[in-house]
Structure 1
Amino acid sequence: MTVTKTLKSYRGIPYEVAKQKLQMWLDAMDAIATGQSYTIGSRSLTRANLNDIQSQIEYWSSIVTKCESGHKSIYVQRAIPQDF
């Protein structure tokens, strides 16, 4: 049995925040599915573009997935060779 540790954050974004943002964008996609825009009296509302919402869902989903899989960020270090 493999036990995977959930990271608390990925690239400085807390896991719980990433889950909330992902749910927010999923809810936004549901709202667009019921109607892109509507008008009540003299007021109107036009929701965000579906392509923008889908790219946000992919972004937040990847962060949540990386946190849940225990994937850590890649760190780049610099080494300076010295001649002794």
Structure 2
Amino acid sequence: MGQRERIQARLDIVNQRLEMYYKAEAAILEGAQSYQFGSRQITRATLPGVQAEIRELERRKAELETALASGNSDKRKAVRVLFRDL
């Protein structure tokens, strides 16, 4: 599997997760965030947590799309500098 295929596979996973988080956000906004069962109240997720994850996934999606478009996933490279006093 080449570099481009790996990037596309990661992008597909991010897109799937992003879609699930969009659905979760919609469910929370429609009132399905918590429910009561007898005397117990169960909270599934918090809106700020879901929205934070959506922002992170959107950032990651944009990064992967840029890497896919440019053909270069190694946007950041580590460089080592060695100072010598001769």
Tell me whether 71-80 or 23-32 shows the greater mean CA deviation.
71-80
Indicate the residue corresponding to 2:10 in structure 1. 14
Count of paired positions: 77
Indicate the residue corresponding to 1:75 in structure 2. 77
**Unaligned stretches of 5+ residues in structure 2:** none
**TM-score normalised to the size of structure 2?**
0.66
2:46 to 49, 61, 65: 49
Indicate the residue corresponding to 2:22 in structure 1. 26
1:69 deviates by 2.3
2:46 counterpart letter in structure 1:
N
1:78 deviates by 0.9
Structure with the higher fraction of residues in helix conformation? 2
**Unaligned stretches of 5+ residues in structure 1:** none
1:74 deviates by 1.3
SS at structure 2 position matched to 1:14: helix
1:79 deviates by 2.7
Q: Percent same amino acid among aligned pairs?
A: 29
C-alpha separation in 1, matches of 2:38 and 2:83: 71
**TM-score normalised to the size of structure 1?**
0.67
| RMSD, aligned α-carbons | 2.9
Structure with the higher fraction of residues in strand conformation? 1
1:41 deviates by 4.7
